[in-house]
């Protein structure tokens, strides 16, 4: 509610954050979103907020879907110890760096599957999220304007 700025810049920042949040680079999602927001000159705050599309409460679900999509495209087997180790780390609620270490230890094909799936989901969700958040931020701007007008009229009485 306190965010100021053009609704399209706020929504674009959110979409960039959602894109970055879908990538399995847990401790670096915020840095990527911030870099993208600076590059595209949009809201840095909403970009950072958007990364929370993946959070400790849904990491398991998000990364499971990322892997399944990436593995399906790459033709990887359903039974994979590296994948099981990564998902176990997520299930246990480990810190971001522990997940990254497990992911890096899982091997190149597993990393490729997670990255490919996350990239595809990010590319799909970011453009879908933009008009949704654009409407939300426009509605907030209209509400602020109406509230400001009401306060001004009331103060003149």
pLDDT, tens digit, 9 for 90 and up, residues 102-123? 777 777 788 888 899 999 999 9
**pLDDT range class, residue 77, cuts 50, 70, 90:** confident
Is 35 a member of any domain?
yes
The tokens 């959070």 sit on which residue? 55
Is 1 a member of any domain?
no
Cα separation of 62 and 76, whole Å?
Answer: 18
Is 128 a member of any domain?
yes
Q: Report which of residues 134 and 1 the model is more confident about.
A: 134
Which residues, including other chains, have CB under 8 Å from residue 62's CB and lie 6 or more apart? 22, 53, 54, 121
- The boundaries of the domain holding residue 101 are 7-156
Cα separation of 52 and 17, whole Å?
Answer: 8
Is 2 a member of any domain?
no
Q: Total structural domains in the chain?
A: 1
CA-closest candidate to residue 53, choices 106, 132, 108 = 132
- pLDDT number for residue 157: 67
């Amino acid at each position: 509610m306190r965010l100021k700025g053009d609704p399209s810049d706020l929504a674009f920042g959110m979409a960039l954050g959602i894109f970055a949040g879908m990538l399995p680079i847990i401790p670096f999602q915020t840095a990527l979103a911030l870099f993208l927001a600076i590059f595209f000159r949009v809201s840095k705050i909403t970009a950072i907020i958007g990364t929370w599309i993946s959070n400790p409460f849904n990491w398991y679900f998000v990364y499971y879907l990322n892997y399944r999509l990436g593995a399906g495209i790459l033709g990887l087997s359903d039974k994979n110890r590296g994948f099981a180790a990564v998902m176990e780390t997520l299930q246990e609620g480990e810190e971001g760096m522990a997940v990254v270490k497990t992911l890096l230890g899982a091997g190149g094909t597993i990393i490729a599957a997670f990255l490919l799936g996350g990239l595809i989901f990010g590319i799909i969700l970011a453009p879908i999220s933009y008009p949704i958040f654009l409407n939300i931020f426009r509605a907030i701007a209209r509400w602020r304007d109406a509230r400001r007008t009401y306060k001004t009229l009331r103060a003149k009485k």
